[in-house]
Structure 1
Amino acid sequence: MNRRPRVGVLALQGAFREHARALRAAGADVVEVRLPEQLDGLDGLVIPGGESTTITKLAALYGLDDAIRGFEGPVFGTCAGMILVDRSHLGLADLEVDRNAYGRQVASFEADLELNGEERPFRGVFIRAPRVRDVGPGVEVLAELDGEPVLLRDGRVLVAAFHPELTDDSRIHERFLELVTEATSVRA
């Protein structure tokens, strides 16, 4: 790809501004997405953390749920975004996720995560984090916490149970942009 990737961030609720900042720092042009037509021409889409019920209801209200299902580029879902892409919601990733499975807001925590292919750990920020209940056979686990998957890839979909946008470490956003670049090269 000779141009900067053009990545949308679902901007209905949640940590969309933080993702936009992280993506810009990693080299992407960012578009805040609030309506289905704003998906046109995007190379990738981020569905941020926030309140999954609110995001789900607003996405349905604005027709974004069907538009996202039809979006062909890579998708990165974090925390609530991970819930939205699972089998029970948008059906983009072959996994089942339980909401708020690590506890309430007061049980939020940070932990060092070993990323596949990386020597340096990634500091994961877990806020009312979801927990992966079931993973399909084609899903690749990229990081675990206490033996449970917290960063996964299912083809063009990357998901994280934590909030990489709340750190100054851009490696996970860079991984997503690599997916975007790879997919754009294949489509070209």
Structure 2
Amino acid sequence: MTAPTIGVLALQGDVREHVHALTSVGAAAVPVRRRSELDAVDALVIPGGESTTIDKLLRAFELFAPLQDRLRAGMPAYGSCAGMILLADRVLGGIEGQRTLGGVDVTVRRNAFGRQVDSFETDLTIDGVDDGPMHAVFIRAPWVEEVGPAAKIVGRVESGPAAGRIVAVRQGPLLVTSFHPEVTGDTRVHRLFVQIVSESQG
């Protein structure tokens, strides 16, 4: 089977790290800044950064509507941190006029960990990720306040002040996490996403 071509939205955030992680697990990974580049990929990673800034840049680069259309048509996507916010249907703590691409039936609280528990690291068990817990890094991260019936919780914080908080959700070909797997060298979330992309291609 041909390796899927997975774009990494290259407007802000850990673009190089995501490209490296995807490449290391067998995907053809490319940065995406233009409509033509978006049209050429099978799936997309939306990295961390600042969700309101990425929203504005998506509009400035005339990518917001085309990307939303691709998502609604079933394109797989993975969003980490700010990417989780952008793929959420509902956001708490957003600024006036902030929009999301939507697609995942969740309510996300923006900067939840950053303001309330500070940035931190912990070990998590993620459904679909084999070989034991993974080390997760949270940087001014959101968390999921509510999950609708269409979405499935696949990871929660297991200990500490934030124990029980939802930090990973999947809905069909869409995957979101509060944490940044691209910074730890553990590529299992990226491997899971490549598997999701391959499954979507039949």
2:78 pairs with 1:76:
yes
Alpha-carbon separation, structure 2, partners of 1:62 and 1:76: 20
| Secondary structure of 1:97 counterpart | strand
Query: Could you tell me which amino acid in structure 1 is paired with residue 199 of structure 2?
Result: E
Residues 28-78 of structure 1 show CA distances to partners (whole Å, capped at 9, x for unaligned) of 111111112211131110000011111110001112111111113200000
What percentage of residue pairs aligned between the two structures are identical?
48
Give the Å deviation of 1:116: 2.2
Q: In the alignment, what sits opposite 1:99? A: 110
Alpha-carbon separation, structure 2, partners of 1:119 and 1:32: 30
Q: In the alignment, what sits opposite 2:31? A: 32
Query: Could you tell me which amino acid in structure 1 is paired with residue 110 of structure 2?
Result: R
Give the Å deviation of 1:131: 1.2
How many residues of Structure 1 are paired with residues of Structure 2 in the alignment? Answer: 184
Structure 1 stretches of 5 or more lacking a match?
none
Alpha-carbon separation, structure 2, partners of 1:67 and 1:99: 24
Q: CA RMSD in A?
A: 1.6
TM-score (norm 1): 0.93
- Please say if residues 79 and 160 of structure 1, whose CA atoms lie closer than 8 Å, have aligned partners that are also in contact: yes
Q: After TM superposition, what 4+ stretches of structure 1 lie above 3 angstroms from structure 2? A: none
| Secondary structure of 1:60 counterpart | helix
Query: Could you tell me which amino acid in structure 1 is paired with residue 133 of structure 2?
Result: P
Moved more, 92-101 or 75-84: 92-101
Alpha-carbon separation, structure 1, partners of 2:146 and 2:153: 12
Q: In the alignment, what sits opposite 2:61? A: 62
Structure 2 stretches of 5 or more lacking a match?
91-99, 158-162
TM-score (norm 2): 0.87
